[in-house]
Amino acid sequence: MNGQKTLRKIKRFVYLISPNKIKNTNKFLFNLKNIFKTNCISYFQLRLKNSNLEYKYKLSIKIKKITKKFSIKFIVNDDPYLAKKVGADGCHLGQSDMDIVKAKKIIGRNKIIGITCHNSKNLIKKAIKNKANYVALGAFNKSLTKKVKYRAQISTLRWAKSNYKIKVVAIGGINDKNYKKLLLNNADFLAISDYIWNNKKLNPQEATKKLL
């Protein structure tokens, strides 16, 4: 009962990540608007590893207008230059991407920089030292979006939230069956992609509503 009460107080905890591939741009943007109408999305990250820069730029301009309308933070994956060019709210970096300090100089110190820290306390400490705005921990579950190289533990999530004020985004195979455990262990946001975009039983908006 207490857990349910706690969950109801948490609003807009979803950090939505785009599908890996977008086959139909108009359909994608239509679904994006419907997902945003559920009012539980705080961040949207464009993560297209294999798309060309021109397509990502044009799509980002359209996404920026939609995220602004719904007061959602627009994050570009991997590319601080593209983030700056389209006026995104920030950029997410992996451990093999650009250094946080350099990325901040490119997009501006007032912009959001998030960094993947897997399950490493040392990487969390380094990210905080370099003034990251949030750290992403995962994968907490088996993921269909990408191959899981690192598995995260709830104990690491608890440690980060107990020792630092940094925002923590939990990632990896999160769905309507397992998301509550992460929220109850103080994850600030849940990064979700496959469950929403590739749900075999529900459309994207319906899948998102199951998290309310």
Q: What is the pLDDT of residues 86-129, one digit of tens each?
A: 999 999 999 999 999 999 999 998 999 999 999 999 999 999 99
What is the model's pLDDT at position 132?
97
Total domains in the fold of the chain: 1
Tell me the CATH number at 131: 3.20.20.70
Instruction: Supply the range of the domain harboring residue 101.
Output: 2-6+13-209
- State how far the Cα of 185 lies from the Cα of 179, in Å rounded to an integer: 10
Burial 87-112 (b: 16+ CB within 10 A, else e): ebbbbbbeeebbebeebbeebeeebb
The reported pTM is 0.94
